[in-house]
Amino acid sequence: MKKLCIIAAAYPPNVKGGGEKSTQLLAKGLSALGNEVTVLTIDHRDNEFQDDTVRVRTILSPNVYWNFKHSEPAFRKLIWHFRENFNPRAKQIIVEELERIKPEAVITSTIENFGNAAWEACHELNIPVAHILRSYYTLCFKGTMFRDGHNCEQRCHSCRAATFGRVRSAAKVNGLIGISDFILNRHEPYFTQALSQRIFNPVEVETSVNALPEGEQYIFGYLGRIEPEKGVELLLEAFQTLPDDYQIKIAGTGKEDYVKYLRDKYPSERIHFLGWVSPEEVYRSVHFVVVPSMWHEPFGRTVIEAYSHGVPVIASARGGLKELVEEGVTGQLFEPDDPANFRQACQAAVKNQLASRAVSLSVQKYAQRFSVDVISAQYDAFIDAMLNEHATQNIMQAS
């Protein structure tokens, strides 16, 4: 049994995206393996509570505000970004919390609001720390490396200035976990002292399989935020050129004016805007899930959740998504900036009979590779390896 601390910018019930859910699944998975797990996270007040066998400790943001759901003036945003790179107060707060928790190892799941102070605090206390790459936050102040409709091939001057402290402190991290090979390869040159490994995100795996029959109609589904970088407009533009027996359901929310713009520009009886609905409601009512992201998604939780419900996926060939879709077997890939290629991918999915019962059972079996038990065991083994490496280095430095 190991005593572990997971540091996260937010933790359920505070949920903004997949990162919070992944953190919770990991914490519970590591606890189920016999580890004593404490999550150090941020909320609007100091508090402690139990999430099953996981102890959760919440503190106020050590930065000027908690950026979880805040809209702040520009000058406060500038201060916030500066303190993400240099914040002695945050470091002292984290040191004090870790001295109380006394973990053998720390995992930084998301470090926003703690900033590089989380890594500096672990280094000062000689506690090995592993960082999970859930976004490009170490290298890009927006965390996306996506600007003006394009993926950034290099770090711009603004990002270099806004991440100077995090990049400097990355050399003090002992372990680096990428939720895809793509994001891991992008960051390894900056984490020069870290043991590294790709470990996918854990996903709760369903036991029931989508039983939507093949028929005269093929129903496609999109789930997620309705934003330009998510590729929703390209999806709708291309969908208008597909056969009349193809329909699509758009599930999710976004800025009201952008959603209205899309509704007005693409009026069609075959396009259904559902607003916010439960993912399960969509998975059980579509033949295919579409993930049309323009940016390099680090992972793609929607892909595995769809598989887990027995639904194949048509995804853009970007970032970590390419590692999750086997063409003609679990789904199809397409170039998101090419509407004709998307149309071909949809038609190929139908032609290859990916909506069949046999494929539904196959993709659900594939999803088992991402179960909480499987992924947590990989994390547990990685932490053991990091602890052994750290102990060896301590002995070498002492001799």
Q: List, in order of start, the domains of the chain with CATH numbers.
A: 3-202+372-398 (3.40.50.2000), 218-370 (3.40.50.2000)
Question: What DSSP line would sit under 318-370, residue for residue?
Answer: -GGGGGT--BTTTEEEE-TT-HHHHHHHHHHHHHTTTTSHHHHHHHHHHHGGG
pLDDT for residue 238: 86
Q: Residue 205 — pLDDT band, cuts 50, 70, 90?
A: confident
Q: What is the CA radius of gyration of the chain?
A: 22
Least confident of 209-218, 300-309, 323-332, 378-387: 209-218
pLDDT for residue 215: 62
pLDDT at 393 over 70: yes
pLDDT for residue 230: 87
Q: Among positive and negative, which fits the CA dihedral 9, 179, 128, 204? A: positive
pLDDT for residue 71: 79
Angle (deg, nearest 10), helices 256-265 and 232-239: 10
Q: Residue 212 — pLDDT band, cuts 50, 70, 90?
A: low
Tokens at 199, concatenated? 């470990």
pLDDT at 13 over 80: yes
pLDDT for residue 333: 97
The DSSP 8-state label assigned to residue 231 in this structure reads T
pLDDT at 280 over 80: yes
Q: Distances from the Cα of 6 to the Cαs of 25, 103, 110, 295, 383, in angstroms?
A: 12, 9, 9, 28, 12
The span from the CA of 355 to the CA of 10, in Å, is 37
The DSSP 8-state label assigned to residue 204 in this structure reads P
Residue 115: other Cβ atoms inside 10 A: 27
- Name the percent of the chain lying above pLDDT 90: 83
What is the pTM (predicted TM-score) of this model? 0.93
Tokens at 187, concatenated? 């960051």
Residue 141 in contact with residue 159, Cβ under 8 Å? yes
Question: What DSSP line would sit under 238-300, residue for residue?
Answer: HHTTS-TTEEEEEE----HHHHHHHHHHS--TTEEEEES--HHHHHTT-SEEEE--SS--S--
pLDDT at 214 over 80: no
- Amino acid identity of 24? Q
The arithmetic mean of pLDDT across residues 297-304, rounded, is 94
pLDDT for residue 213: 63
pLDDT tens for each residue of 147-182: 988 899 999 999 999 999 999 999 999 999 999 999
The arithmetic mean of pLDDT across residues 267-291, rounded, is 92
Residue carrying the six token digits 């984290």: 94
pLDDT at 210 over 80: no
Q: Phi and psi (nearest 5°) for 347?
A: -70, -35
The arithmetic mean of pLDDT across residues 266-286, rounded, is 92
pLDDT at 82 over 70: yes
Tokens at 223, concatenated? 């789930």
